[in-house]
A and B are shown apart, each in its own frame.
Chain A
């Protein structure tokens, strides 16, 4: 069965610093991979997705993610974090009609 692991429950970075959120998945074939962001009291918003092709995917709000098949990873990155990026981030893996989410990483941004 497919699964998603986000090893970091909580990450704190300073505003302007770079960010990398880790995501590892388990799936037999090439999965569809997603990153969502959830701000307090809000629903989830899609940041980016990967289906095939170029392994470096650009998303909204300056985020990007890189698919590494050999490491079964799909890490999310941003070169310079803004205070408004503070939120919960979820990695998800999908196949056919099934979508599995990781437990999330909470991002705190220090001024």
Chain B
């Protein structure tokens, strides 16, 4: 079974530029998550999708971050414009059921973003 795929693996941009990350979850997984992991910290949930609807985006900085999950499968996370403090690893995860804390999440390798 293929795991969660993310691209690109690394991205370097200058502040005020835009960037997009892509995630392909495990086939058949209903729930998709985006996390931000700043160096030295644990992952922080940015947004959770159930199929193609948003379940929780309370910690997503909506003035600059946006995310979508087309047709309930792939997802993209965009930052526009980027700030220095957005430098982090962006992790995508998926889970097979309808979400909820009991559901095991499977993580992709992440995209490391450096904002100069």
For the complex, what is the distance from the CA of A98 to the CA of B47, rounded to whole Å?
10
CB distance from A35 to the nearest CB of B (A): 12
Q: Which of B45, B55, B91 contacts A43 (CB 8 A)?
A: B91
For the complex, what is the distance from the CA of A31 to the CA of B100, rounded to whole Å?
12
CB distance from B62 to the nearest CB of A (A): 18
Interface residues in chain B, defined as those with a beta carbon under 8 Å from any beta carbon in chain A = 3-4, 40-45, 48, 55-56, 91, 93, 99-102, 104-110
Contact present for B43 and A44 (CB under 8 Å)? yes
Contact present for B104 and A97 (CB under 8 Å)? no
A14 interface residue (CB < 8 Å to B): no
Contact present for A97 and B107 (CB under 8 Å)? no
- For A9, the closest partner residue in chain B by CB is B40
CB distance from A94 to the nearest CB of B (A): 3
Q: Is the interface of B mostly helix, strand, loop or mixed?
A: loop
- Total inter-chain residue pairs, C-beta < 8 Å: 58
A95 interface residue (CB < 8 Å to B): yes
CB distance from B10 to the nearest CB of A (A): 10
Contact present for B42 and A41 (CB under 8 Å)? no
Contact present for A96 and B100 (CB under 8 Å)? yes
| Residues from chain B with Cβ under 8 Å of A17 in the complex | none
Contact present for A97 and B99 (CB under 8 Å)? yes
29 A-B residue pairs with Cβ-Cβ distance under 8 Å, sorted by A, are: A31-B101, A32-B101, A43-B4, A43-B91, A43-B93, A43-B107, A43-B109, A44-B107, A45-B107, A46-B104, A49-B104, A51-B102, A90-B43, A94-B101, A95-B101, A96-B100, A96-B101, A97-B56, A97-B99, A98-B56, A98-B101, A99-B45, A101-B42, A101-B43, A101-B44, A102-B42, A103-B40, A103-B42, A104-B41
A76 interface residue (CB < 8 Å to B): no
| Residues from chain B with Cβ under 8 Å of A41 in the complex | 109
For the complex, what is the distance from the CA of A41 to the CA of B56, rounded to whole Å?
27
